[in-house]
Amino acid sequence: MDTSTPRARAREQTMRDVVRIGREHLATEGAAALSLRAVARDLGVVSSAVYRYVASRDELLTLLVIDGYDELGDAVDSALERVDTGDHAGRMAAIGRAVRAWALAEPATYALLFGSPVPGYEAPAERTTGPGIRVAARLVEVLQDAWDAGAITVSEAPVTPRRLSRDVARIRREMGVTVPDALVARGMFAWAALFGCVTWEVFGQYGPDTFSQPGDLFEHHLEALAEAVGLG
């Protein structure tokens, strides 16, 4: 966005305010109850004015989805900056801890990204896929680096059935990696399992009194995920 003029800077600030207020309403009202009229009220403008910035409730949800994905991706990137690139297991653990910390701090936005779909809303893939796979891309980088360094040993034979191998080959091309089928499949498992573990904690699926410190269990999960991809 061009911010070289006062008008452009004012518009950019208004958009930031819309997203900020939208996330506040997301936390208090839930995604299904988001209202542009309510956002306009808290923004201090008439309801018709907000439509100059955000065309619809669905557009607001899309902005919140992108903002959430980017904030999560930034948290993961920041965590990885503090880990040596040769410490593959440490990098994988840092990704997991960053995801968990962000999710626990932003449960409403996490629920928008990874919880139940919002009735009547479908996120536009052309705008949300890139931000949405940032964490997965970091996991892929770790696995590729570990493979290149000889830190992981897996079969280099194609996975079965053949249609799965074709899917894996497409994913490999899209992600720009050269690791074997088996490691791609393990990476998909690690991605799904990491968010599954975080989801269970964020949504209280363990129950309120099962674990005195859920973080202790999560650390065991991180060790298990590292072992699952061959970094244990």
- Residue 120: pLDDT over 80: yes
Secondary structure letter of residue 45 according to DSSP: S
- Residue 150: pLDDT over 70: yes
Maximum average pLDDT range among 7-11, 37-41, 95-99:
95-99
Give the pLDDT mean for 98-104: 98
- Residue 3: pLDDT over 70: no
Give the count of beta carbons closer than 10 Å to the beta carbon of residue 94.
21
The per-residue pLDDT for range 163-183, each reduced to its tens digit, is 999 999 999 999 999 999 999
Closest listed residue to residue 34, CA positions, set 42, 72, 44, 49: 42
Provide the percentage of residues in the chain whose pLDDT is more than 90. 91
Q: Give me the pLDDT at residue 48, please.
A: 87
Helices 125-132 and 134-148 meet at what angle, rounded to 10?
40
Query: Could you give all domains of the chain from N- to C-terminal order, each with its CATH number?
Result: 1-55 (1.10.10), 68-229 (1.10.357.10)
